[in-house]
Structures are given as structure tokens and as C-alpha cells.
Amino acid sequence: MAKVFVFDHPLIQHKLTYIRDKNTGTKEFRELVDEVATLMAFEITRDMPLEDFEVETPVQKTTSKVLSGKKIGLVPILRAGIGMVDGILKLIPAAKVGHIGLYRDPETLMPVEYYAKLPSDVEERDFIVVDPMLATGGSAVEAINSLKKRGAKQIKFMCLIAAPEGVEVLQKAHPEVDIYIAALDEKLNDHGYIVPGLGDAGDRLFGTK
Ligand code: PRP
Ligand code: URA
């Protein structure tokens, strides 16, 4: 079964509070999502493999460590996932970025795919799928289906806020995909919004409504 990791670092929790606040405007919301994405990237890369590297310091030669060249693919789910990309790329700038476009049909809440463009070497990369919200889980499940269909083998899912319902759905559909979140909220409301959540992530990031 997929593991769920809650990144409850004080800085993440502090910034998430202001992200939730309905009085936080678009500019600040965007900046905070970017900052939290960077902090989460720091945590999610904790298990990256290292290899020995010979280096000569001004004092003597020594063996030190460098990342062992693992290829990372970052896949934001459009639109709101885009808000997390730059923050993650600050720490892993060599990652290639694919995009999967999905929207939730407001009546059925089912995800509809309208775009998919991934790096050409899909099979060789470890993917991190990002989206601020995991609500019913439909979008995350569909995005990961889409990635797997195109050959992806290693996938993690990272979001800011998850509902228990979404975690369960994602775990059932993709039991090998670990889930990394900043907060596990209480529930979904009748419109499929996370309670207490942060509202509509895409609208708050891009100033639409
Ligand atoms: C939001 C959010 C997720 C999805 C989560 O996107 O960014 O992608 O809902 O809901 P789910 O877990 O129930 O599928 P939305 O469909 O509002 O599209 P947008 O990013 O274009 O605003
Ligand atoms: N999508 C959002 O943007 N917010 C929610 O609470 C649920 C889905």
C-alpha cells in the first residue's frame, strides 16, 4: 500500500496557514505556494541516491558525495500544479517538466484530460506529480494513469492539502505511488471542496473566478 508522508515542518505549517486565509491576495498566495513547494521539495528529495566524488580542497584530496545523476521528471497537473513548479525547480533545476491538463467536470466531479506533453525519455525518469489539492482523488488518479500509459515506472505524488477521501482513492488506484502532503484535512463538502481547505487553488493562484 502507498505510504502517506505529512511534511509538518513548522515553516510549512506556518506558510500553509496564510495560504488558507481567504484574505490572502493572489500575489502573496502565489509566493507562499512557491515557498512551500520549495520546502516540500527539500523533504521529498531526502532519499535521493548519492555516489562518491573525488574532490581536491585547498587543503587535500578527499572523497565526498554528489547526487548519482538520477533523472527527475516533474509533472504539474494543469492549472494549479503550475504554481508549485518554480519552487521545486529551485532545488532540482535539472528536472524536465511535463504537463498534464485536467479539469474537473463541475457536475460529475470527474476529471477530463485536455493536454499531455511529457519528456521523451519517460521510462528512465523518476516522476513527481504535483497539484496543490487532492480532493476526490480523480485528477491525481487520472494524471498518474496518463503517465503510466506513456511508460512511467517510478512516480510520487505531492500536494499541499489532501482530503482523506482522495488519499484513499489514490492509494487504491495506485498502491505503489507514495503520497507527500503538507496537511491532511477533515473531509470533502457536497461540492467536492476540501474542508477546511483553501478554496479553489487555480482561481486563487491565477486571480480568476
Ligand atoms: C483542482 C485541483 C486539482 C483538482 C483536485 O483543479 O487543482 O487538480 O481540482 O480535485 P479532485 O481530487 O477532486 O480531482 P480544477 O479541476 O479546479 O482545475 P484547475 O486547476 O484548472 O482550476
Ligand atoms: N480543487 C480545489 O481547487 N479545491 C478544492 O478544495 C478541491 C478541488
Give the CATH number of the domain where residue 37 resides: 3.40.50.2020
| 79 close to 206: Cβ distance less than 8 angstroms | yes
Residue 201 in grid coordinates: 487553488
Q: Quick one: pLDDT at residue 15?
A: 98
Nearest 10 degrees: Cα torsion 34, 36, 37, 38: 90
> In angstroms, what is the span from residue 99 Cα to ligand 1's centroid?
14
Binding site for 5-phospho-alpha-D-ribose 1-diphosphate, by residue number, is 79, 104, 131-139, 200
CA-nearest residue, atom 7 of ligand 1: 80
Q: What is the pLDDT of residues 21-76, one digit of tens each?
A: 999 999 999 999 999 999 999 999 999 999 999 999 999 999 999 999 889 999 99
Residues with a CB atom less than 6 Å from ligand 2: 133, 135, 192-194, 197, 200-202
Q: Which domain holds residue 148?
A: 4-206
Q: What is the pLDDT of residues 80-122, one digit of tens each?
A: 999 999 999 999 999 999 999 998 788 888 889 999 999 999 9
Total domains present in the chain? 1
